[in-house]
Structure 1
Amino acid sequence: MKRILEGIQVTVIVSVFVVLVGCVSWQVITRYALGVPSTVTDEIARFLFIWLALIGGAYTYGQGRHLAIDVIPMMMTGRARLIIEACITLLVASFALFVMIWGGYQLVSRTLDAGQISPSLQIPMGLVYLAIPFAGVVILAYAVVALIELARGRLPMQLINDAPPVE
């Protein structure tokens, strides 16, 4: 499951990045070569950057390469290490569930109900904000996989290279 999720994320991240680079390049060309900046590509680039940042953040979390203060877990071994890692993972899962998924869903719903649309593209802003609950679902899925590994007495694969052995 994790490999499928990662494969989808990498495909989406690379695709969004390619389109983002194209939009920004076209924006530069229209602004400096043609003298008439494209407002549409500016807005597309802004919205794609939001999606790229959130999906990239979720992917980074799944790879265990996110910014973390891991002084306490790195000092522990054995069962204590597993417990502290599980507590940290539960905090991340709670944030993903309540803030990103539930709160993001509320934001998307209210924005769609209000009929807020983007100035240039004329698309519902709820579609832009949908990146928040989407990334939350991905982060929650990674957290569940990590919790399953921890419950089995193993550190999640992304932690093994840095971790002292669990005894």
Structure 2
Amino acid sequence: MLLKTVITTIFVVLVACVSWQVISRYVLGTPSTVTDELARFLFMWLALIGGAYTLGLRRHLAIDLLTQQLSGRARTVSEAFVLFAIAGFAAFVMIRGGSQLVLKTMASGQVTPALQLPMGLVYGAIPFAGAIILFYCAIFAFELWRDGPSTPELGETAPLGGPLD
């Protein structure tokens, strides 16, 4: 529920920014640089957090043709491999690499042009989303270990919900 609320709030503010941008540009004749920049940064946060949320709902895009054809232990191994690949990307690229980017940017003192926010806050979406993805991967790995394969059979739908839903 918490993650859904955060995403919804970001989306509402994003829509308000874009609406004001259109009104200020075409009705008032003077485009707002603040809402333009804010909309860009909110969109980045929305996309990354939304992707992590979608993973938590098990609604992310996946090419699971091979996994769908497997059963038993082979299916479990296939699902575990996919989970560990996602977790590895989240841990090393998003969390480790994203955190280094945030720290370097914060140390350089770089700020956004219109809002004068530290650019590290904008880049903070990368390790934040990576941590959420890693959290979901840990939960899914535990469920896989405890219950076996959770990928629905062909024609079934994936279960909805998660701890951050």
Per-residue CA deviations over 1:118-165 (Å, capped at 9, x if unaligned) read 000000000000000000000000000010011113334xx336589x
Mapping 1:1-150, distance limit 5 Å:
7-150=1-144
With the length of structure 1 as denominator, give the TM-score of the two structures.
Answer: 0.90
User: Bigger relative contact order, structure 1 or 2, given CA contacts below 8 A and separation 6+?
Assistant: 2
Per-residue CA deviations over 1:35-61 (Å, capped at 9, x if unaligned) read 000000000000000000000000111
Secondary structure of 2:105's aligned partner: helix
Q: Percent identity?
A: 58
Tell me, which stretches of 5 or more residues in structure 1 are unaligned? 1-6
Within 2, Cα distance between the matches of 1:150 and 1:28?
48
Within 2, Cα distance between the matches of 1:121 and 1:24?
16
Q: Could you tell me which residue of structure 2 aligns to residue 3 of structure 1?
A: none
With the length of structure 2 as denominator, give the TM-score of the two structures.
Answer: 0.91
Within 1, Cα distance between the matches of 2:153 and 2:82?
18
Cα separation, partners in 2 of 1:22 and 1:89, compared to 1, 3 Å: same
Q: From the two aligned structures, give the one with the greater helix fraction.
A: 1
Within 2, Cα distance between the matches of 1:49 and 1:161?
34
Within 2, Cα distance between the matches of 1:162 and 1:128?
40
Deviation, 1:109, is 0.3
Asked if 1 retains the 8 angstrom alpha-carbon contact of 2:99 and 2:124, the reply is yes
Q: Could you tell me which residue of structure 2 aligns to residue 160 of structure 1?
A: 152
Within 2, Cα distance between the matches of 1:152 and 1:76?
19
Within 2, Cα distance between the matches of 1:59 and 1:82?
23
Within 1, Cα distance between the matches of 2:24 and 2:69?
55
Secondary structure of 2:113's aligned partner: coil
Asked if 1 retains the 8 angstrom alpha-carbon contact of 2:14 and 2:39, the reply is yes
Cα separation, partners in 2 of 1:162 and 1:64, compared to 1, 3 Å: farther
Tell me, which stretches of 5 or more residues in structure 2 are unaligned? 157-165
Within 1, Cα distance between the matches of 2:149 and 2:57?
13
Within 1, Cα distance between the matches of 2:70 and 2:153?
15
Secondary structure of 1:149's aligned partner: helix
Letter in 1 for 2:72: G
